[in-house]
Amino acid sequence: MREPEKTEPDGKRSTAGERRQDVIAAGIIEFATHGLHGASTVTIAERAGISQPYVLRLFGTKKALFLACLERVVEQIMARWQGALETMDSGEPPEIKLRALGTEYEGLVGEVHGLRLVLQAFSSAEDTEIRRAVHQSLGMMAAWLAASTAAPPLAIQQFLAYGMMLTVAASIQAADVANDELWARMFVVIPIE
């Protein structure tokens, strides 16, 4: 049985591609909150406004949906980085380029679901497919950073470590207690006095 098309407020019907995007957006929230094994495709379907069987028809398995969500988050990070470099002179030194990319990544701290999903992927890496996707994502990011910034390997390693710290800070909402806690200020890069 075919899923009836979802009608938008303007009277137009959603396409399968649009529904797929809705499911990925809903999946990012659910997987970020509950992880691969704790997330519910029923809840994801409810968030997306479609039936749970249709979610599985679109993606096949919950793990395939999780991988699509991870891919989307990585694409969003990469798009922000690419946008940051497009506004710069290509002759800028590597450290200036990395600083601009770091500032762009700091902007993601408010988008906690995407960053939590990345941590959930790391936590689920005992699964071979998830681990392979994480390896591919990190490898692609590191290669892109090297090619786009011409930074040396140590600088890229430090940049990725800083990004991981920001990812953890966002996930644990360190900014919420940064005014009162020294450790939190260190995590969210507020100047320490």
At 153-181, the pLDDT tens digits run: 999 999 999 999 999 998 999 989 989 99
Mean pLDDT over each residue of the chain, to the nearest integer: 90
Q: What is the pTM of this model?
A: 0.87
At 13-72, the pLDDT tens digits run: 678 789 999 999 999 999 999 999 999 999 999 999 999 999 999 999 999 999 999 999
Torsion of CA 116, 121, 125, 130, to 10 degrees: 180
pLDDT at 111: 83
**Percent of the chain whose predicted confidence (pLDDT) is above 90:** 75
Q: How confident is the model at residue 2 (pLDDT cuts 50, 70, 90)?
A: very low
pLDDT at 6: 52
Domains of the chain: 16-188 (1.10.357.10)
185 has a pLDDT exceeding 90:
no
At 3-23, the pLDDT tens digits run: 444 555 555 667 878 999 999
Q: What is the DSSP string of 18-62?
A: HHHHHHHHHHHHHHHHHHHHH--HHHHHHHHTS-HHHHHHHHSSH
At 98-136, the pLDDT tens digits run: 999 998 988 887 788 999 999 999 999 999 999 999 999
Q: Give CA–CA dist 57/131, Å, rounded.
A: 24
Q: Give CA–CA dist 85/148, Å, rounded.
A: 8
pLDDT at 9: 52
